[in-house]
Structure formats: C-alpha cells, structure tokens
C-alpha cells in the first residue's frame, strides 16, 4: 500500500513539472515531393563530374550532404551508401516550387556554370 502511495506522489510531482505555458516547438513540414528524374541513384563521382566540386560537404550519420551555390539558388544533394559507392537519394533546392523539392532551373544553372568553368 505504501508503494502505491509513493508512486502516486511521484506521478503528481512529475505532472507538476509540465508547467502551463510551456512552449512547444513543432518540427518544420517535410519538403514537397518531386525528385529530378535523372539524379536519384546517381553515384557521387558522376555528380562531381557534372556539377564540379561542392561548396560545402557535411557528413551526418549515414548521410553525406553536398551543397552547390549560385547567385540565385542553392542545391542540396543527399547521398547514402549504395553498394560500394555513395549515391544520390534526394535532391532539394532553395528556393523551390510549391510542388517540387528541387527546381530544375536552379539545377540547370548550376550545370551550365560547371560546364563554363571546365
């Protein structure tokens, strides 16, 4: 009986920790669907040949993220291990359209810039 009373007191104490007015932070919404048709599954070496060296690389757990920058947009390539190589699983641009994760005009501009440099 004493143990039940103890647990009741502990539960009441824990309930008091959640003070009214505690602000909850919600997660941002997921990116819109829509992958560029030819990029998912592409190996990292081919992305580097097409787009050049990324402006920024980040490793986050199993993912490797490459960012490419232009004056008007940024493109993010999300790579995951696929056999012995890294392969694109997701591409996103900022800005992007309402119904797509990656804006094709941004990717086209980044490709054209890479061709002009090489």
| pLDDT tens, residue by residue, 69-111 | 999 999 999 999 999 999 999 999 999 877 888 999 999 999 9
State the pTM of this model. 0.70
Which pair of structure tokens corresponds to residue 13?
């104490």
Cα–Cα distances in angstroms (integers) from residue 54 to residues 2, 8, 65, 105, in the given order: 64, 57, 10, 18
Binning pLDDT at 50, 70 and 90, where does residue 16 land? low
* b/e per residue 32-62 (b: at least 16 CB within 10 A): eebbbeebeebbbeebeeebbebeeeeeeee
**Closest to 63 (Cα-Cα) out of 88, 46, 38, 34:** 88
Residue 61 has pLDDT above 70, yes or no: yes
Give the torsion through C-alpha atoms of 46, 79, 30, 38, to 10 deg: 20
Domain boundaries of the chain, sorted by first residue: 39-118
Binning pLDDT at 50, 70 and 90, where does residue 28 land? low
Binning pLDDT at 50, 70 and 90, where does residue 118 land? confident
Give the chain's end-to-end CA distance (angstroms, integer). Answer: 80
How far is C-alpha 42 from the chain's CA centre?
A: 17
Lowest average pLDDT, out of 24-28, 39-43, 109-113, goes to 24-28
Triad 48, 53, 59: Cα angle to 5° = 85
Give the torsion through C-alpha atoms of 50, 58, 41, 76, to 10 deg: -60
* Span 39-118 CATH architecture: 2-Layer Sandwich (3.30)
């Amino acid at each position: 009986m004493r143990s039940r009373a103890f647990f009741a007191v502990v539960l009441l104490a824990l309930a008091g920790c959640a003070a009214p007015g505690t602000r909850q932070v919600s997660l941002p919404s997921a990116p819109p669907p829509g992958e560029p048709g030819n990029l998912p599954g592409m190996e990292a070496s081919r992305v580097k040949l097409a787009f050049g060296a990324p402006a920024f690389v980040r490793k986050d757990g199993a993912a490797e993220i490459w960012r490419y920058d232009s004056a008007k947009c940024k493109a993010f390539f999300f790579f995951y291990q696929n056999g012995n190589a890294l392969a694109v699983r997701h591409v996103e641009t900022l800005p992007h359209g309402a119904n797509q994760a990656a804006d094709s005009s941004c990717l086209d501009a980044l490709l054209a810039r890479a061709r002009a440099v090489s």
